[in-house]
Amino acid sequence: MSLKHTIKAGTALAIILAFTSLSGYAASNDSDKAANRSTVSDTYKALNLFGDVFEQVRANYVEKVEDKKLIEYALNGMLTSLDPHSNYMNDEETKAMMVQNRGEFGGLGIEVTMENGVVKVVSPIDDTPAAKAGIQSGDLIVEIDGMQVMGMTLNDAIEKMRGKVGTEIVLTVVRQGAKEPLKFKLVRDTIQIKSVRSHVENGNAGYIRITTFNAQTFPGLQKAITDIKKEAGDKLIGYVLDLRNNPGGLLDQAIQVSDAFIDKGEIVSTRGRNPDDMRRDNATPGDLTGGMPLVVLINSGSASASEIVAGALQDHKRAILMGTKSFGKGSVQTLFDVPGGGSIKLTTARYFTPSGRSIQAKGIVPDILVERAKVVAEKDPYSEIHEADLKGALANPNDKVEDPTLLPDDAKAVTTTTTTTTIVPAADATKKDADKDKKDADNTKDDYQLMRALDVLAGISLYKGSDGAVAPVDPMAKDAPEKK
């Protein structure tokens, strides 16, 4: 047998073994054997085709490429073709992701995806080199250190943006409305994500911003609520939970954050490929805020875990949602280890809010729609990106039937129709002064959406004892038992 055929046979055999292991091709009973034999035969033919292409690239490509790299590219091509969130990660990338989930990693601080061959910014992370340099949601990164992004995989682009802390990198960005590409010089840094920030607004409103969902998020939320109660005391009228530009993160943290404000009922359900692959997570007794009014801010940068929290609080009528429609990522990714230290991130389920709705490619519509204060002459298609805009995005399962399948009555919140109110900021809108004693609140007067959220809290406090969706409570009332 020639070397060429040996390589092809070895490559095909290795992939067949992996394919069989992951897909479970073995026949479960006699009636399935004929169909499975046909399927396996077709699979062998396709893998022979892969072997032919692999050998052609290996032998004739203009530059020599390591066999390992070619296999990685093939794996990435297979996974990224499924949907925008599935991909293969080598050993280094897997370790980097683990570090990120712990709340610390090296890089620029941007959440990105691949769209039409270039890197698209989903959202910059607060207080990172990218955010400080002025990178915005919707920016298209077309060059990295002068190298064209077109032709790179998403992992290649991310790898080039990573590097030694303290080194410089130049990103060339195309931004809608800009006459020519913009160049940003950034210095790589260790990204230490403080996922929760908080302060008291106007002396009586607790402001809590969650920037991402990592292992530090729920402990940070507990501390934030404790600090706000201590500072505001009897004057506290409620809380604003800011999830804007939060790209998501760990599912368990989203569940714990939701549970912090909900006493009972379902928080989220996940449903996989098989009908039996369904999981439901329910709230436990207790509300860290003692049931005080809550306003949640979202926008197109609020994705995944952020949408789980927003959806649960909206369905349970626990909070008023304000801002603009969320991103619409309603899928769950699971990490599978593979030989060699790498892993594959594979979409394995969709999640559903307590009322049984999937927000996949649809997003969550706020109860009160509040646009950004800056009014543009024409709609900017790059100013807000949603899951439905991504190539290969999963369809929303609720679109396949007239009525979505709801969960059993004892495990779901009551489904109601929410009236959406739109607030358009006036050009001469009067802005209140922020709390000048808090550095974090210095820019509040420039944040139109936050100003309107604070107005809603103030309005609720004037009608104590009303029968609104979010019932105001006496700030002097004894708090419910806190969750640990």
Q: DSSP for 200-213?
A: EETTTEEEEEE--B
Question: Which residue in the list 120, 329, 362, 412 is annotated as catalytic?
Answer: 329
Active-site option among 86, 123, 258, 304? 304
The H-or-E segment that residue 53 falls in is helix 30-60
Q: Is 315 an active-site residue?
A: yes
Residue 56 sits at φ, ψ, to 5 deg, of: -60, -45
Long-range contacts of 154-161 (CB under 8 A, 24+ apart): 154/80, 154/87, 154/112, 154/113, 154/114, 154/119, 155/76, 155/87, 155/88, 155/89, 155/93, 157/112, 157/114, 157/119, 158/93, 158/112, 159/93, 161/107, 161/108, 161/110
Closest CA to 256 of 232, 284, 230, 289: 284
Sequence-distant (≥ 6) Cβ neighbours of residue 106 within 8 angstroms: 96, 162, 163, 165, 188, 189, 190, 191
Round to whole Å and give the CA distance between 358 and 350: 8
Neighbour-count burial of 410, counting CB atoms closer than 10 A to its CB (0-12 exposed, 13-18 middle, 19+ buried): exposed
Q: Distance between the two ends of the chain, CA-based, in angstroms?
A: 66
Alpha carbon distance 456, 451 (integer Å): 9
Active-site residue, 234 included: no
Three-state secondary structure call for residue 88? strand
The kind and range of the H/E element at 403 are none
Using DSSP, state whether 356 is helix, strand or coil. Answer: coil
Which candidate in 315, 389, 435, 447 is catalytic? 315
Q: Name residues whose C-beta falls within 8 Å of residue 128's C-beta, 6 or more positions apart in sequence.
A: 108, 109, 110, 189, 191
Secondary structure of residue 199 in the 3-state scheme: strand
Concatenated DSSP letters of 242-301: E-TT---B-HHHHHHHHHTT--SSEEEEEEESSTT-EEEEE--S--TTTT--EEEEE-TT
Residue 44: strand, helix, or coil: helix
The answer to whether 294 and 239 are in contact (CB under 8 A) is yes
The verdict on whether 304 is a catalytic residue reads: yes
The residues carrying an active-site annotation are: 304, 315, 329
